[in-house]
Structure 1
């Protein structure tokens, strides 16, 4: 598929005619809220052969003509992809992207069938116990795994299950392997003391492991996914031992073990929240793992990209230095945030699906900007009550750029948080860019 950057004056009909497609096809791929209106900086998926990206560093004095000569792309292709128009002065922003010396542009390259990497894809589902669970999975049938979030461990080693019967049935029908996600979530927070109790008390730990194995067998899970968060740094050895013991027990029953881990770029065993994650040891103990490479932008923090490319890459560079890359699923967010300004204002951001964020910009008729450092889109708008807001999200371009990390670092695949947030471009691009393994 191709990505077209909308500029001032573009219409959906004009774009469709330019690429020999229909407005209906463009709307299907992008789920636009309003076919008659677009905004500059919007990245539209366009039908076409599979496309990946390559990095190009802009040189002083570069023009579209010189970049075209160096990359083998035509100026027309460059204009469509970047939104930059010929003759635009260096550093001037148009359609969300820039031609600034030293900046990195991610430009298109053909992706042949022989090059297509086979990966695994996971998605976390918050089951509601209704037909909506099945419908969500039917909208994303190319998953390898679905993590049912979550089985909440209690201090006595018992488990409080989610209402996942509908989701499990749909997963079996769609040949998606269900994983049982076990957490130290107490219904309100990830509980530090609960995690300690579960791991430090031998009889409780063994009871929890037995309950996990029994539940997987009874419900038809293929494996367990442990998502313990906010653990004490001093509990690092306990967590290593718990995952080792759990792995031995569940593999004996024919299951596999995986974990979700917070992101970090070095190992400080005393670091708050992240010190408990011993990447090197845990990487040896699990069959695979999900790195939570998102949430830099969060509800209580300043407006910024949720999964900035520079931060995601830094985490993966460290992770692959101590964990076999073929065990790592890169986390990807299916959501953005909408912050009230000025920050801090005493108010928290609100979550928004990536597709809704795109369509909010169209409704508000505000241009979508492009942040070069994070390779992420954002925009500002003003509500009817006069309050200004800033929205950061992921779109087709930022997703395709992050997908390239899976190729560059030979990762196992990708893991999405959280299913049900609409983002059709991500699913179309994943199917276009990879072969998805089923187990």
Structure 2
């Protein structure tokens, strides 16, 4: 597939003719709110004879579109279509600026892919899984721990059965209570008898409800609980392995060890990486609901986390986190002001409905746009085809195990279409095939 950047005057019919496809196919790949209105800066997935991710290119003095195209092995016309350069539009190539250009992928690479799901317990869960069935794992979020070492049961059985139908390995996500309570985590992992009871309940629940692995997502822990958490994961790993289940964890992003850092300090990357079968790095939420407005998963920050993580954890254990959502903030942002969350697809289509251009931030490799409603200015940061194409390139750069998405049911068809074009998604053939350190 290829990415076409819309410029003023483009129509869907014209774009379809350029790539020898139909408006119906373009709508299928991008799920546009309207086929009649496009906006400048919209990144459209289009059919192509080659597979592509997006790689950074730092502009050198004297560079032109023609010289860059020759250097990366693409036609000048196709590079202009990828970048959104037409005539005098967008042709300012300032030396030192980083742009994102196509990088052909000659052969699909096999990776593992996880997505978290917030289950409704209704048939809608089945429909979601049917729509994106090419997953390795599905993390059902979440079984919240209770103060007595128990777990709050959630309506997950529709999702677990649907996962089995599509040969997706279901994982039981366990969290430290509602709101990620640090004091609850402390009690559960430092009280030896309570920890043992908690582990028994986790293993028994996972087996009874049809899970093939346990995923621990403890957050906001105190730095002083670093060693007890290591011990908890070690003990839990032994217990789940004895039952033929996998152990994985979600970890907050950081760029150095920093053991005393608030809530990130509790994550001992090196030790935990050695204890688990694989792990999900939460490389998102730099831009978060409380603001200030910024990219959700800026690629410069994601890369910095991966550089540290792969220095202490085997890269074949790491699933890089990618968000399926964006945030809509009111401007000017006020302390305490909260953003509205929306899916990546809804964000794209909001720009189309408001008929506002989509802008691109080269440093973070992220799209955003501005619009007005009720005399209020808003800014939306989100993910699109180009931003995930840039993140997919990190899988190759760091030789990672794969990707973990947060969170379904947020809709992002461009992501799934591009994912399936670039990668082969590993399936665990049966319950007898172990995901341990594979």
Query: Under TM normalisation by the shorter chain, which class is it?
Result: over 0.9
**What secondary structure is seen at the aligned counterpart in 1 of 2:408?**
coil
CA RMSD of aligned residues (A): 1.2
- 1:424 equivalent to 2:398? Answer no
The residue that corresponds to 2:201 in the other structure is 211
CA–CA separation in structure 2 for the residues paired with 1:328 and 1:419: 20
**What secondary structure is seen at the aligned counterpart in 2 of 1:159?**
coil
**What secondary structure is seen at the aligned counterpart in 2 of 1:297?**
coil
Tell me the TM-score normalized by structure 1: 0.95
Listed as ranges, the gaps of 5+ residues in structure 1 are 92-98
What aligned pairs does 1:208-287 form with structure 2 within 5 A after superposition?
A: 208-287=198-277
**What secondary structure is seen at the aligned counterpart in 1 of 2:115?**
strand
Listed as ranges, the gaps of 5+ residues in structure 2 are 429-438
Which range moves more in the overlay, 361-370 or 66-75? 66-75
Q: 1:21 to 1:88 in 2, by over 3 A?
A: closer
Task: Give the C-alpha shift of residue 54 in structure 1.
Answer: 3.2
Task: Give the C-alpha shift of residue 343 in structure 1.
Answer: 1.3
The residue that corresponds to 1:81 in the other structure is 82
The residue that corresponds to 2:17 in the other structure is 17
The residue that corresponds to 2:103 in the other structure is 109
- 1:415 equivalent to 2:409? Answer no
**What secondary structure is seen at the aligned counterpart in 2 of 1:281?**
helix
CA–CA separation in structure 2 for the residues paired with 1:407 and 1:306: 22
- 1:168 equivalent to 2:157? Answer no
CA–CA separation in structure 1 for the residues paired with 2:143 and 2:137: 16
CA–CA separation in structure 1 for the residues paired with 2:242 and 2:90: 65
- Match 1:303 to one of 290, 293, 304: 293
Instruction: Please give the per-residue CA displacement for 1:225-267, whole angstroms capped at 9, x wherever unaligned.
Output: 0000010100000000000000011101111100000000001
Tell me the TM-score normalized by structure 2: 0.96
Task: Give the C-alpha shift of residue 88 in structure 1.
Answer: 5.5
Task: Give the C-alpha shift of residue 90 in structure 1.
Answer: 5.8
The residue that corresponds to 1:136 in the other structure is 128
- 1:313 equivalent to 2:303? Answer yes
Q: 1:109 to 1:269 in 2, by over 3 A?
A: closer
Task: Give the C-alpha shift of residue 55 in structure 1.
Answer: 2.9
The residue that corresponds to 2:354 in the other structure is 364
Aligned length: 427
Which range moves more in the overlay, 210-219 or 422-431? 210-219
The residue that corresponds to 2:187 in the other structure is 197
The residue that corresponds to 2:283 in the other structure is 293
The residue that corresponds to 1:373 in the other structure is 363
What aligned pairs does 1:84-95 form with structure 2 within 5 A after superposition?
A: 84-87=85-88, 91=92
8 Å CA contact 1:233, 1:271 repeated in 2: yes
CA–CA separation in structure 2 for the residues paired with 1:223 and 1:69: 48
- 1:434 equivalent to 2:434? Answer no
CA–CA separation in structure 2 for the residues paired with 1:29 and 1:377: 18
CA–CA separation in structure 2 for the residues paired with 1:24 and 1:185: 45
